[in-house]
Amino acid sequence: MGRNKVTAARDEAGAAAQSVEDLFRRLEQLNDIGASLSAERDINRLLESILLAAKTITRADGGTLYLLTEEDGTKRLKFEIMRTESLNIAMGGTTGNAIPFYPIHLYGKDGKPNNQMVAAFAALTGQTVNIADAYTADGFDFNGTRNFDKKTGYRSKSFLTVPMKNHENEIIGVLQLINSQDPVSREVVAFSNADQRLAESLASQAAIALTNRQLINQLEALFESFIAMINTAIDEKSPYTGGHCQRVPELTMMLAEAVNETRQGPLSGFDMSDKDRYELKIAGLLHDCGKVTTPVHVVDKATKLESIFDRIHLIDTRFEVLKRDAEIEMLKSSAALRQTGLDELSVRERGNQLEQAYRARLRQLEQDREFLRKCNIGGEFMPPEAQEHVRKIGEYKWLDQSGNTAHFLTEDEALNLCIPRGTLTDKEREVINYHIVATIKMLEALPWPKHLQHVPEYAGGHHERMDGRGYPRGLKREQMSVQARVMGIADIFEALTARDRPYKKGKTLTESLQILGKFKQGGHIDPDLFDVFIRQKVYQRYAEQFLDANQIDRVDEGKIPGYTP
């Protein structure tokens, strides 16, 4: 007997030691799980991690995670994640398999609490419910569980239902575990007190991690909405830039992903994490935020003489004045002929000459007017002889509204009509270019968190050139990040293909890639990124989403300047 007692005592001590060792091991698991939950950014993956972790530390075969929702004043527990290992059931979350069960109402139609459903009870009371056998438990309705078992052949037995409370002690969800299994025999057993305490600790950590992630997501959504508001303000100022603010980020991310997938060449080492992607996305959305400071009449300058209105109409009026003056001069000269004493034949001949000169003058004035109208439309290039013709017309004399003799064109009008490319003068282009300086000032003034600290550099570098001749800082290629160089190509290609500019039509793919290739040859854009842009057909994917069908022509990559297929 004494020997049996000693053996039994040893066995009991051994079992206790194993139990303690097992508990410590599971506590270590709990600590590791808590750290991983805090690091997870994706809500669906976070919810899955919570449920899978709870199943692991309690040795549960199945489980469900519910989140508390409220709509139209009605509180419900929504099925978010379901797992049952022995039945190979995986629903919700990242699985793509929808959960076909209706949410659990916390209150009935009569307004009374739904205490019959164990998950609802836990959410309403904040109490953990540990049931050894659902089929023999009193006080709860397990009819739904029994029906599930009949259909599947499963036997739902032990239940552990734990409310999830956030840092403000608010219930945000419920964690329900089913059928704890003995680690040796794999038989279904009741959840132990240790299981319950571990599950409650995990539920608490999980609720805080989930609440923090939801708060971060809400802040990010608020931040992105604020950015969208800025872009809307730019859009409202000018319909010609709002689309640009939306398309450049899209193209930036397309090219960045293509570079990220590159496994050969000088860019093979470039790699983006989810944080890197989000940082670049934000930079893309904010890359032109400084345009809120740009005067509308400069941004929207569709013609060379446009300011608040198109001043070509003033010049049209002056031409009418010159034509009127020519007619008056002709009539005065004709009347004076009759006072000269010349014979009738001479008067008639001289009158015909005056009439012909008058008609020639009208034709010349009309030709000059049409010429200035064409000059007023910005083009790719205005030759020097055309600029000289503008200046000659400007030297015509006319009587202004004060009756004073003045040059036909003001100095400012002549300057604008002689703009060699586009519609902007050098000063106006400086005003436009200042938007990037304003962008950098605005972004550098913000207290960016660590994971967004490069936003000002990415957004502020898209007008720099690889040869150092860009603006505003004159940076060279080696002084710029890959992301900033990516944004530079995206900004140029979007501008070339954009069809909503007031001064030009959107170019075709071939035309745009021809120009972009010359930019590569001229040291304007990054040559390696340009090659990825062509080789990975980023231009084609962008075109399919954002260009008109008539812009999408067949591209012969072998004829693109600076690119070797």
- Sheet strands (E) in 10-126: 60-71, 74-84, 89-92, 104-105
Residue 155: CATH number of its domain: 3.30.450.40
* Banded model confidence at residue 15, pLDDT cuts 50, 70, 90: very low
Query: Does any domain span residue 222?
Result: no
The whole-angstrom distance between residue 510's C-alpha and the CA centroid of its chain comes to 26
Is-contact 101 79, C-beta < 8 A? yes
pLDDT tops 90 at residue 37? no
pLDDT at 452 (0 to 100): 94
Mean pLDDT of 173-201: 92
Q: Quick check: helix, strand or coil at residue 238?
A: coil
Mean pLDDT of all residues in 353-361: 93
Mean pLDDT lowest among 34-43, 67-76, 126-135, 311-320: 34-43
What's the mean pLDDT in 100-118? 92
Range with the lowest mean pLDDT among 269-278, 400-409, 474-483? 400-409
**CA–CA separation, 61 and 166 (whole Å):** 26
What Å distances lie between residue 237 and 226, 287, 291, 415, 470, CA to CA?
Answer: 17, 17, 9, 26, 26
The answer to whether the beta carbons of residues 156 and 148 sit under 8 Å apart is: yes
- Cβ-in-10-Å burial (0-12, 13-18, 19+) of 106 comes to buried
- Same domain, yes or no, for 251 and 174? no
Query: CA 174 to CA 141: how far, in whole Å?
Result: 17
Residue 52: which of 81, 94, 80, 25 has the closest Cα?
Answer: 81
**DSSP conformation class of 470:** -
Q: How far is CA 166 from the centre of its chain?
A: 32
- Are the C-beta atoms of 292 and 233 separated by less than 8 Å? yes
The answer to whether residue 303 is domain-embedded is: no
| pLDDT at residue 300 tops 80 | no
| Same domain, yes or no: 408 and 454 | no
> Domain boundary at 216, 246, 272, which?
216
Give the three-class secondary structure for 160.
strand
First-residue to last-residue Cα distance in the chain: 90
Does position 17 have pLDDT exceeding 60, yes or no?
no
- In 299-452, DSSP assigns E strands to 397-399, 405-407
Sign, CA dihedral 145-184-88-162, equals positive
Whether residues 174 and 193 share a domain: the answer is yes
d(CA 67, CA 83): 15
The answer to whether position 307 is within a domain reads no
Cβ atoms of residues 156 and 179 within 8 Å: yes
Please report the pLDDT score of residue 433 as a whole number: 87
280 assigned to some structural domain: yes
Contact 84, 178 (CB under 8 A): yes
Pair of tokens at residue 126: 């904040």
Q: Tell me the average pLDDT of the chain.
A: 88
Query: Got the DSSP string for 288-302?
Result: TGGGGGS-HHHHT--
* Confidence label for 456 from pLDDT (cuts 50, 70 and 90): very high
Instruction: Give the residue-averaged pLDDT of 173-178.
Output: 95
Do 159 and 57 share a structural domain? yes
Q: Which residues contact 478 (CB under 8 A, 6 or more apart)?
A: none
User: DSSP character for 508?
Assistant: P
19, pLDDT greater than 70 = no
Residue from 263, 292, 262 nearest 486 by CA: 262
Residue 441: in which H helix or E strand, if any?
helix 426-444
In a shared domain, residues 546 and 440: yes
What mean pLDDT is predicted for residues 108-127? 94
pLDDT at 299: 77
| Radius of gyration from C-alpha coordinates of the chain | 39
Tokens at 549, concatenated = 């069908």
Say yes or no to pLDDT of 59 above 90.
yes
**Helices and strands of the chain, counted as H and E runs:** 18, 10
What Å distances lie between residue 412 and 191, 319, 404, 419, CA to CA?
87, 18, 19, 11
User: What are 498-527's pLDDT values in tens digits?
Assistant: 876 655 678 999 999 999 999 999 999 999
Question: Is position 12 within any domain?
Answer: no
Whole-angstrom distance, CA of residue 412 vs CA of residue 418:
10
Identify whether residues 405 and 268 lie together within a single domain: no
Q: Is 340 helix (H, G, I), strand (E, B) or coil?
A: coil
Count CB atoms within 10 A of the CB of residue 68: 18
**Residue 10: predicted pLDDT:** 46
Q: Which range has the worst mean pLDDT, 28-37, 175-184, 215-224, 410-419? A: 28-37
Are 23 and 101 within one domain?
Answer: yes
Residue after which a domain boundary falls, among 390, 423, 456: 423
In this prediction, residue 231 carries a pLDDT of: 79
Measured CA angle at 200 (ends 198, 206), to 5 deg:
100
Whether 122 and 252 share a structural domain: no
More confident residue, 233 or 416: 416
* Run of H or E including 109: none
Please count the CA atoms within 13 angstroms of the CA of 181 that sit on its side-chain side: 17
Into how many domains does the chain fold? 3
Contacts of 358 (CB under 8 A, 6+ apart): 326, 327, 329, 330
In a domain, 565, yes or no: no
Query: What tokens appear for 96 in the block?
Result: 């793509």
Evaluate if residue 36 carries a pLDDT over 70.
Answer: no
Percent of the chain with pLDDT over 70: 91
Q: Which domain holds residue 44?
A: 19-216
Count Cβ atoms below 10 Å from residue 53 Cβ, excluding itself.
23
Q: How many Å apart are CA 255 and CA 368, to the nearest integer?
A: 48
Task: Tell me the CATH number at 288.
Answer: 1.10.3210.10
Q: Are residues 259 and 118 in the same domain?
A: no
Residue ending a domain, among 423, 458, 484, is: 423
CA distance 265 to 44: 36
Distance CA(394)–CA(265), nearest Å, equals 57
The yes-or-no verdict on residue 51 having pLDDT over 70 is yes
SS (H, E, C) 80-91: EEEEECCCCEEE
Residues 518 and 381 placed together within one structural domain of the fold:
no
SS3 69: strand
Query: Do residues 397 and 447 share a domain?
Result: no
Per-residue model confidence (pLDDT) at position 457: 96
Q: pLDDT at residue 174 above 50? A: yes
pLDDT level of residue 8 (50, 70, 90 thresholds): very low
Same domain, 320 and 465: no
Q: Which of 306, 297, 248, 249 has the alpha carbon at shortest distance from 498? A: 248
Cβ-defined contacts of 80-89 (< 8 Å, 24+)? 80/47, 80/173, 81/47, 81/48, 81/50, 81/51, 83/51, 83/52, 83/55, 84/154, 84/178, 85/55, 85/61, 86/61, 86/62, 86/154, 87/62, 87/152, 87/154, 89/62
What per-residue confidence (pLDDT) applies to 246? 85
Q: 149 in a domain, yes or no?
A: yes
Paired strand residues for 171: 165
Strand partners, 178: 62, 159
Reply yes or no: is the peptide bond before residue 449 cis, omega within 30 of 0: no
In a domain, 120, yes or no: yes
Rounded CA separation 201/163 (Å): 11
